[in-house]
Structure 1
């Protein structure tokens, strides 16, 4: 089987490095800390957090993972959180209902069997709004569970920026009000829309201002990719030169998803006993861009001329450019800094670019390569 995994949760065998991040995040969980973890999409933050949760002894910790991506309001937030807490605390039908009633009596819990015959818990809040009292009950449940079990409860909220799209800021305000009093409960807030998350945690006017430490997850250095990629080719009796790995990582920026994806294609193109060279890498990249071409053409044509010019400038710059400088705006036809700023704001709100220190990066590394190819 192809040893390079992408597009989903990555297990231990396909997981590259992150030993420092794993240790630091595990320590935060063990000490009942609060951490705001943010990264670009597909950077592997969910896989990393789930791996850290897996290292916690079950006799001492209760791990609760809440995916907020499907939620669209306070009621959906309350239901998703209550389900995750109940399911993490108990698994048998009888005990699941007992826990649900003891922690979430206001939400009218009921237990049934799913299609596989496993018990699942539901709550009577579908289609109705939840009150502040309902939210308090849900958000106080981790503290109650910690007291009841004598264990540290680790709450992970994934895609946390989703709450900025709710009908009001009730959930955001109540989270701050409730969790500030909790003991023996760790809170990990994960998110991929950095500009939204940073506004939640760095804006003095927002309820969650400075309520958790910041922990950015970035690309993986080439020095860590080198042994990881080499071993997986060697295990299949395939050879790849270190210089090719250097070039591969330069093309993907060390981003886990795009690096694993490109390695996946390159590995599948290589026969046992064959050696991968720069030509093979070029063919693999061309194949990837061919597969994505239709989507990229539609995306490109949906952009304004100034947005296209801004992206072209980012794509064609070998080092992070100064996108509001006169040199950049003149070179790529943006004419003025204000035009460049408006393009950047629009592209960032669409998640096509992310801020990186004093510049920006195109979040889809293959889209960057496609743009470079378009103007080559």
Structure 2
């Protein structure tokens, strides 16, 4: 079995480091804190939080994971949240309906069996707009569940930036109104579109302004990747010299998804007893870029010339550049700082790049390598 996993939620044994982050998030859950966890896409924040939830004793905690990605408005937000809470607290069919009616009577809960014969709870709010009172019932339920069960409740809202797309800010306003009074309930808000999330929590005009502490999840340092990667190769009688591991991490910038993905391909190229060489690393990168080339060409052709120039500049820089400096704009044909600013704003809105400190990063590390190859 290939020991490198990428895509989807990964298990405990597949984590590289993240010891400090896991401890911090677990402590936030245990202390009923409020935390805004953000990272670039595929950085592993969902896997990390799920691992933290697994560490909690079911005797003392009720973990509730709410995936907001499929939601499109306040009604689906209410139904998705209510369903996640009910099924997290009960699995017995009779008790499931009883709990649903106790916590969410206004939403008209019903229980049926899914295709595998397992009970599932539904709510009769499809096709209608939920009221402030409906949302209040849903958002007061975590505290009610904590009081009813005698346990702490941990609410995790994943892809939280989705509520920015709702028809109004009712869900945001009701969240702020409810959670500030809750005891024995922890709230974690996860998201990957950092500019949207930061606008929700840092903009004074937004309901959730300063309502949770900020916890960014970043790349993993090479010093942590080296023992993780070399051990998985050596366990299969393959050798990966540490200097080449460092080169691999430089290409992926330590991003977990792209590092694991590249290692996955590289591992399959090396036979037991073999040694990874620079040519193997180049071969693995070429194979990955070949697979993605159609998508990258399509994206590239959709960009304006100035957006392409801005990306070329980011891809060419070994260290984070100053993208609005005269040196950068002159070198990459952007003419003025305002031209570069407009290109950056458009690329951020399209999730192609992400703000990082005083510079930007190309979020897809393989796209960065592909653009870099265009230069040569």
Question: Smaller-chain TM-score range?
Answer: over 0.9
State the partner residue of 2:265.
Answer: 265
Residues 9-158 of structure 1 correspond to what in structure 2 (within 5 A)? 9-158=9-158
Aligned residue number for residue 320 of structure 1:
320
Q: Give the ranges of 4+ consecutive aligned residues of structure 1 lying more than 4 Å apart after TM superposition.
A: none
CA distance in 1, matches of 2:85, 2:167: 24
| Aligned-residue offset at 1:294 | 0.6
Shift of 1:305: 0.3
Specify the SS of the correspondent of 1:240: coil
Matched residue SS, 1:233? helix
Per-residue CA distance 1:141-186 (angstroms, 9 max, x = gap): 0000000011100000000000000000011111000111100000
Partner SS, residue 104 of structure 1: helix
Q: What's the TM-score once normalised by structure 1's chain length?
A: 1.00
Give the secondary-structure state (helix, strand or coil) at the position aligned to 1:157.
strand
Q: Determine the C-alpha separation between the residues in 1 that align with 2:188 and 2:296.
A: 34
Residue 214 of structure 1: CA displacement?
0.3
Aligned partners of 2:245, 2:99: CA distance in 1, in Å?
51
Compute the RMSD of aligned alpha carbons: 0.5
Is 1:231–2:234 an aligned residue pair?
no
CA distance, structure 2, for counterparts of residue 4 and residue 79 of structure 1: 36
C-alpha separation in 2, matches of 1:258 and 1:153:
34
2-structure distance, mates of 1:95, 1:230:
50
**Structure 2: how far apart are the matches of 1:190 and 1:215?**
10
CA drift of 1:277 comes to 1.0
The residue correspondences of 1:342-353 to structure 2 (distance < 5 A) are 342-353=342-353
Q: Distance between the aligned counterparts of 1:147 and 1:3, measured in 2? A: 43
In the comparison of the two structures, how many residue pairs are matched? Answer: 376
- Counterparts of 1:59 and 1:234, CA distance in 2: 40
Aligned partners of 1:318, 1:244: CA distance in 2, in Å? 17
Deviations 1:297-332 (A, max 9, x none): 000000000000000000001111110111111100
List alignment gaps of at least 5 residues for structure 2: none
2:222 corresponds to: 222
Normalised TM-score (structure 2): 1.00
Distance 2:229 2:272 in 1: 15
Query: Pairwise mapping of residues 203-214 of structure 1 onto structure 2 (< 5 A)?
Result: 203-214=203-214
Matches of 1:176 and 1:281, distance apart in 2: 49
Q: Return the alpha-carbon distance in structure 1 between the equivalents of residues 84 and 206 of structure 2.
A: 26
Q: Distance between the aligned counterparts of 1:59 and 1:326, measured in 2?
A: 60
1:314 partner SS: helix
The offset of 1:14, in angstroms, is 1.2
1:298 is aligned to 298
Distance in 1 (alpha carbons) for counterparts of 2:57 and 2:73:
33
SS in 2 for 1:69: coil
- The separation in 2 between residues aligned to 1:119 and 1:6, in whole angstroms, is 31
